[in-house]
A and B are shown apart, each in its own frame.
Chain A
Amino acid sequence: MTAAITVTELGKTYVVPEREGGVRAALVALVRRRTREVKAVAEVSFRIEPGEIVGFLGPNGAGKTTTLKMLAGLLHPTTGTADVLGYTPWRRDRDYLGRMSLIMGQRNQLHWDIPVLDSFRLNQAIFRIPPAEFRVRLDELVQLLELEELLRKPVRNLSLGERMKCEIAGSLLHAPAVLFLDEPTIGLDVAMQRRIRSFIAEYNFRTGACVMLTSHYMADVEALCRRVIVIHQGRLLYDGDLAGLVQRFAAHKTITVELEEGAKVAESVAAGLVHGAQVERTATGFTVRVPKTETPAVASRLLAALPIADLTIEEPPVDQVIEKVFAAPTSEVDRDG
């Protein structure tokens, strides 16, 4: 199958002016401008198949948005190539622009002062959507996103969540085959986040569109993306499934022990069995965080020595793992499968 998106050693370096604070430095800068190169994205490569939903993760400033902007044709890269649906995005071929959409969290393409429907009609003219097709698609979006009440209101009178729903609908009227979503749920309440999330899944299911999504909310990623691409400091850190990410980067596992009723274990005994790992008491037993490699040994020692009713071993929550990955810079690159 031909990939929907192929990115090869894509890089973007910004040249930014640099000077110290203060009047003196400002005067010096008038004569001699000092600039500094900032590598926003450094030779990133990946492939995304049609119909995939891929989470694009990284801390602030990792280069996610820059990458999406290059793929949407807004930015020219400094190095590398990209092919999306057979087009080079930054050539901004109109046929390409008519087949993709980039939705950015707090950026509005809808006109502030006029009713939502008028902005939609303008999009119909821009993307040359035949009237019958426009009606059917609008009906479907209105129904899925519950927009009926909003269509005739000026955008400035909508709440943030309502506006986001309308932005999304406006960006999908032309049925893009590739969808870039940059923080689509930012600033929204939990219920609205859930609605947007289920809508994205539904859209992907119904149209087979390829979706690339960035989000700071792990709930978005866990609900939507089987595959994630992690970039950090402009470099690709991980590309594979979400479970694999946890396995690969989680250094510890949590063992939860439930003791038989009435059984008691002295702290010194427990501490001895887990070789100094931190023990936390619970109502019916205790939990202990142990290094991943020692988990089997510790678990079997516990089972052998203590009156145990139940023992579970858990991976740490995804967001904790991600947080740790971002905290420790590494140049390791991995590709699953």
Chain B
Amino acid sequence: MADVGLATPDSRPALSRFSLAALASFYRERFAMSVAVNVAYRGAVAIWIFVTLIQPLVFIVVWRTVAGEGETGGYTANQFVAYFLVMMVVDHMTFIWHMWEFEWRIRTGAFSPLLMRPIHPIHGDVCENLAYKVLGLIGVLPAAVLIGVVFDADLSGVGLGTVLPFLPALVLAMVLRFAVEWCLALAAFWLTKVTAINSLFFALTTFFGGIFAPLAVLPGWMQTVAVWTPFPWSLAFPVEVFLGRRAGADIWLGYAAQLGWIMLALGGLALLWRRATRRYSAVGA
């Protein structure tokens, strides 16, 4: 028999040692795989993207009517259009769906194979998430332009000076929302039915994140509460930066809030993960 082949190798890679190259090669493979899966199910992806467009369209129609010829919360009708368009793109880039999947993963034992690999399952989810987002942009961006033209979006505040600070705000928002919602997903280790808690969280995100309306339109007390939650930092903040509604120190303060929440979320995630895996009872697996 060949010396290599099946024979257990004498020297094994130290999998416990962090290797950026190894992680990069995993991300490459896993991302390509997720793209392939999404392409295979392009019909379903197209429908999901279509669904993504419906909610902002409804909000645009409603808030344009509310604003009429004047202003509401500092927004004219056409500025509302711009706000909801950019929000649509930011929401698409930051949303995750894994909390809806975790219950199934745990109940069916689909989590077991993931736990036996010498890599944290979160990396696979990140790749899956990124692949869907990148592919989805092919539908979301042209749709945003089209809606903007049809509804005459007012993008007069947007320029290189707002797009450049928008990019880090968007990336931080993606990381933040992913980390927070993956924490939420881990609740499935304690509760077997997590749909209710997910729905509650989704409602809070819609209001405090600024999906339903710009925060400036909300009552004062709600704005105050919102600022102390992670929600606006993963949605409304990058939108406002893009539209030129935040400037100077305000932007830096926003980055700091994003980073602070990211650190909190990652710390919580590490703690929850340790407890969750202790608890895992590998049912059905």
Q: Mark A197-215, 1 if CB is under 8 A from B, else 0.
A: 0000001001111000000
A271 proximal to B (CB < 8 A): no
Contact between B6 and A203, CB atoms less than 8 A apart: yes
Q: How far is the CB of B70 from chain A (nearest CB, A)?
A: 51
Q: How far, in whole Å, are A175 and B4 apart by their CA atoms in the complex?
A: 10
Given A114-B36, A114-B37, A140-B6 in contact, is the A74-B280 Cβ separation under 8 Å?
Answer: yes
Residues of B within 8 A of A101 (CB): 116
Of the four ranges (under 10, 10 to 19, 20 to 34, 35 or more), the interface on chain A belongs to: 35 or more
Contact between B118 and A98, CB atoms less than 8 A apart: yes
Residues of B within 8 A of A176 (CB): 8
Contact between A125 and B116, CB atoms less than 8 A apart: no
Contact between A75 and B280, CB atoms less than 8 A apart: yes
B142 proximal to A (CB < 8 A): no
Q: How far, in whole Å, are A140 and B5 apart by their CA atoms in the complex?
A: 6
Given A125-B25, A126-B119 in contact, is the A98-B7 Cβ separation under 8 Å?
Answer: no
A311 proximal to B (CB < 8 A): no
Closest to A143 in B: B5
- For window 102-142 of chain A, which residues contact chain B by CB distance below 8 Å? 102, 104, 107-109, 111, 113-114, 118-119, 121-122, 124-129, 132-133, 136-137, 139-141
Q: How far is the CB of B276 from chain A (nearest CB, A)?
A: 12
- For window 17-49 of chain B, which residues contact chain A by CB distance below 8 Å? 19, 22, 25-26, 28-30, 33, 36-37, 40-41
Given A14-B281, A69-B285 in contact, is the A128-B5 Cβ separation under 8 Å?
Answer: no
Residues of B within 8 A of A208 (CB): 8
Q: How far, in whole Å, are A206 and B5 apart by their CA atoms in the complex?
A: 9
Of the four ranges (under 10, 10 to 19, 20 to 34, 35 or more), the interface on chain B belongs to: 35 or more
- For window 100-124 of chain B, which residues contact chain A by CB distance below 8 Å? 109-110, 112-113, 115-119
Closest to A40 in B: B281
Given A72-B116, A128-B22 in contact, is the A122-B282 Cβ separation under 8 Å?
Answer: no
Contact between A207 and B6, CB atoms less than 8 A apart: yes
Residues of B within 8 A of A128 (CB): 13, 15, 19, 22
Q: How far, in whole Å, are A122 and B113 apart by their CA atoms in the complex?
A: 13
A74, A97, A121, A139: which contacts B15 (Cβ < 8 A)? Answer: A97
Q: How far, in whole Å, are A101 and B113 apart by their CA atoms in the complex?
A: 10
Closest to B30 in A: A122
B6, B33, B113, B281: which contacts A109 (Cβ < 8 A)? Answer: B113
Given A75-B282, A126-B26, A127-B15 in contact, is the A172-B112 Cβ separation under 8 Å?
Answer: no
Contact between B285 and A74, CB atoms less than 8 A apart: yes
B160 proximal to A (CB < 8 A): no
B55 proximal to A (CB < 8 A): no
Q: How far, in whole Å, are A140 and B251 apart by their CA atoms in the complex?
A: 58
Contact between B5 and A137, CB atoms less than 8 A apart: yes
Q: How far, in whole Å, are A109 and B26 apart by their CA atoms in the complex?
A: 16
Q: How far, in whole Å, are A122 and B119 apart by their CA atoms in the complex?
A: 12
Given A133-B4, A140-B6 in contact, is the A107-B16 Cβ separation under 8 Å?
Answer: no
Given A73-B115, A126-B26, A126-B119 in contact, is the A92-B12 Cβ separation under 8 Å?
Answer: no
A267 proximal to B (CB < 8 A): no
Contact between B15 and A94, CB atoms less than 8 A apart: yes
Contact between B6 and A175, CB atoms less than 8 A apart: yes
Contact between A113 and B113, CB atoms less than 8 A apart: no
A76 proximal to B (CB < 8 A): yes
Contact between A177 and B8, CB atoms less than 8 A apart: yes
Contact between B282 and A111, CB atoms less than 8 A apart: no
A92, A122, A141: which contacts B115 (Cβ < 8 A)? Answer: A92
Q: How far, in whole Å, are A92 and B30 apart by their CA atoms in the complex?
A: 22
B1 proximal to A (CB < 8 A): yes
A149 proximal to B (CB < 8 A): no
Q: Mark B258-281, 1 if CB is under 8 A from A, else 0.
A: 000000000000000000011011
The 10 closest A-B pairs by CB, nearest first: A109-B113, A94-B118, A94-B15, A128-B13, A97-B118, A98-B15, A94-B16, A125-B26, A140-B5, A136-B4
B: which residues have CB within 8 A of A?
1-2, 4-9, 12-16, 19, 22, 25-26, 28-30, 33, 36-37, 40-41, 109-110, 112-113, 115-119, 277-278, 280-282, 285
Q: Can you report 21 residue pairs joining A to B where beta carbons are below 8 Å apart?
A: A69-B285, A74-B280, A95-B12, A95-B16, A99-B12, A113-B40, A118-B33, A126-B119, A128-B13, A128-B22, A133-B9, A136-B2, A136-B5, A137-B6, A140-B5, A140-B6, A175-B6, A175-B9, A206-B5, A207-B7, A208-B8
